[in-house]
Structure 1
């Protein structure tokens, strides 16, 4: 089991919580089931507890790490892998994951994502969904619940809708605070995201869909009639067979795509 060297203290500004529970680590590895043919990418390897097991199974890995004190530790720890272990010292939020696609292999992305940027990072990664085989993330359990929520559930919203637009969403298991050092104040959970080869409900224009969903959830407790009046009328919603008196959490992904396509078509006709 990898132990946290005394030389590096977890930094709050990077949202660092280092995974140390070997049972949890092995369960994550079993969920990922890495193979030698995989192109693995780990976001935020930290001190390499998960990295060690991934490299042992796959033999190669690309890592993205923002904390510049960590790459020297990792390079020393995994020096025997040579150029099979590459570290990109950069911010994953700004990183172009397409630059890693050097052959026909899709990316398999893994990460214990910092709670403070997890939602923004997920949205960034979804823009690369076409180059990704799957993603396995450790996230705050509340975020996982939001990503997996369906229409009609209280935590259903923009994150879940846009994640489910691109991916099949599978919550796998909960990880208690004690599995980390330092221990966070909340439960975490592992989630698997598998991008669709063919989108179930493909929007004619994704930015329009994003704007529709963002606008709809501006005020969750208000109805579509109120929240959407700047984009589409209540009469039009009824024409689209959507009740304007419903709150946004009652509207399915397919219905949001329907609204989005109508707005996009009208914009092009009038533009």
Structure 2
């Protein structure tokens, strides 16, 4: 599929502020749809449809596709490509402000999938918005920078493991479907990418009593990676005796660094702090 003609016809200019890198290879589009395991019952939300190449591939399989696009210059291209699909809705808006549940509810969806070639600049904020704000998403299948995918999938104790790793893995199970070379994009970005799947938990294996506190604990633990928990967690502004008691109750050595803690250990520590500080 060649999108160059569509873009030239509309005299479209790529905008760096929107991180626009489009995909058009039919084989790649099919692989993304296959990775998302789209069924005829699925309602799918796509963020940043671009030239609507992935949008059309999704609409071939899904019950309904809702595409959210911030760049109105793309609307004529999207509308022309999607003219033959009755199961498609184009929404003008900022994905950081849209009520996704309300959009999906119009089509009777209790839970829905998110499939997107995400603009790189918005990857972490939009993923965390979906997870932290409790939207009824069953799964996210997203294109991200390969380096970001490495961080999402990192194990405790490794250099790539960080606050974002712990946070995302608290909300869902993460896997890499496949890598995508930079040559598959128009225009070509400076890095390679990966398709990542985040299956959101309906019932989390480890439940935090206070998720806001959990996020604070994770952030503090990674605030200064070289510091031990005993020092890093001072950022929580808790009395030292309470922090010592919480670490002891959670069975965590205060001399460890935050980067060595698993998601389960972060939850145990957060819950211990919550109980002690009440």
> Where in structure 1 are there 5+ consecutive unaligned residues?
none
**1:192 corresponds to which residue?**
197
**2:25 corresponds to which residue?**
21
Is residue 2:47 matched to residue 1:37?
A: no
**2:75 corresponds to which residue?**
71
Separation in 1, partners of 2:85, 2:28: 24
Q: Deviations over 1:133-163 (max 9, x none)?
A: 2110000011111111121121111111111
Quote how far apart the aligned CAs of 1:9 are. 2.3
Separation in 1, partners of 2:145, 2:35: 18
Secondary structure of 2:51's counterpart equals: coil
Separation in 1, partners of 2:109, 2:118: 26
The alignment's C-alpha RMSD in Å is 1.6
Secondary structure of 2:98's counterpart equals: coil
Aligned length: 267
Quote how far apart the aligned CAs of 1:230 are. 4.0
Residues 14-163 of structure 1 correspond to what in structure 2 (within 5 A)?
A: 14-58=18-62, 60-82=64-86, 84-102=87-105, 103-129=108-134, 131-163=136-168
In the alignment, is the contact (CA less than 8 A) between 1:18 and 1:181 conserved in 2? yes
Q: Deviations over 1:114-134 (max 9, x none)?
A: 111211111111135551121
**Which contiguous aligned blocks of 4+ residues in structure 1 show a shift greater than 6 angstroms?**
none
Separation in 1, partners of 2:48, 2:163: 25
In the alignment, is the contact (CA less than 8 A) between 1:129 and 1:195 conserved in 2? no
**2:251 corresponds to which residue?**
241
Q: Residue 13 of structure 2: which of 9, 21, 27 is its match?
A: 9
Secondary structure of 1:186's counterpart equals: coil
Separation in 1, partners of 2:134, 2:179: 25
In the alignment, is the contact (CA less than 8 A) between 1:218 and 1:227 conserved in 2? yes
Q: Give the structure-1-normalised TM-score.
A: 0.93
**2:270 corresponds to which residue?**
260
Separation in 2, partners of 1:34, 1:255: 35
Q: Give the structure-2-normalised TM-score.
A: 0.91
Q: Deviations over 1:166-196 (max 9, x none)?
A: 1010111110000001111111000011011
In the alignment, is the contact (CA less than 8 A) between 2:46 and 2:66 conserved in 1? yes
> Where in structure 2 are there 5+ consecutive unaligned residues?
none
Separation in 2, partners of 1:210, 1:61: 32
In the alignment, is the contact (CA less than 8 A) between 1:60 and 1:81 conserved in 2? no
